[in-house]
Amino acid sequence: MQFRYGNYTHAANEATVTRTIRPVYSPRGAVRFHRNVVTISGQLQAADQASLTTALAALEAAYAVNGQDFVLLDNTSTATVIGLDSANTHGGVRVTAFDYPQGDGAVYATHMPYHITLEADVIPATGPGLRLFRESLEFIGTGGPTRIFLPVLNGPPQEQILRQQSTQRCIQTGEAVSDLGYVSLPAPLFPTLEHVDQRRIRKTGPDVTGGTLDGYRIAWTYFFEGLTDQSAAVPTVV
Quick one: 145 and 92 in the same domain?
no
Indicate if 164 and 98 belong to the same structural domain. Answer: no
Same domain, 91 and 194: no
Kindly state whether residues 200 and 140 are assigned to the same domain: yes
Identify whether residues 28 and 88 lie together within a single domain.
Answer: yes
pLDDT per residue as tens digits for the range 185-231: 999 999 999 999 999 999 998 888 766 788 899 999 999 999 989 99
What is the average per-residue pLDDT within 168-182? 92
**Considering the domain boundaries, does residue 236 fall inside one?**
no
By residue range, what is the domain housing residue 76? 2-122
23 and 41 in a single domain? The answer is: yes
Residues 199, 221: Cα–Cα separation, whole Å = 6
Nearest to 98 by CA among 22, 155, 42: 42
Q: What is the number of H-type helices and E-type strands within the chain?
A: 1, 16
Give pLDDT, residue 128.
57
Mean pLDDT of 105-113: 81
For the question of whether the overall pTM of this predicted structure is more than 0.85, the answer is no
Last residue of a domain, one of 122, 138, 160: 122
Q: Is the pLDDT assigned to residue 106 strictly greater than 90?
A: no
State whether 154 and 220 are in the same domain.
yes
- Return the pLDDT at 214: 81
pLDDT of residue 186: 93
Instruction: Answer yes or no: do 11 and 111 share one domain.
Output: yes
Q: pLDDT above 70 covers what percent of the chain?
A: 96
Q: What is the pLDDT of residue 202?
A: 97
The answer to whether residues 13 and 112 belong to one domain is yes
Task: For 37-57, write each residue's pLDDT tens digit.
Answer: 999 999 998 888 889 999 999
Residues 22 and 84 in one domain: yes
Tens digits of residue pLDDT in 45-95: 888 888 999 999 999 999 999 999 999 887 777 788 788 998 888 888 999
Residue 234: inside a domain: no
Total structural domains within the chain: 2
Name the amino acid, one letter, at 138.
Answer: E
Q: Domain of 60: which CATH number?
A: 2.40.30
Cα angle: 105, vertex 106, 107; to 5 degrees: 95
Domain boundary among 84, 103, 122: 122
pLDDT-based confidence at 129, cuts 50/70/90?
Answer: confident
Domain assignment present for residue 39? The answer is yes
In degrees, rounded to 5, the angle at the alpha carbon of residue 172 between the alpha carbons of residues 167 and 176 is: 175
For residue 116, with 0-12 CB atoms within 10 Å meaning exposed, 13-18 middle and 19 or more buried, which class applies? Answer: buried
Domain boundary among 67, 100, 122: 122
Sequence letter at residue 86: S
Statement to judge: residues 107 and 169 lie in one domain? no
52 assigned to some structural domain: yes
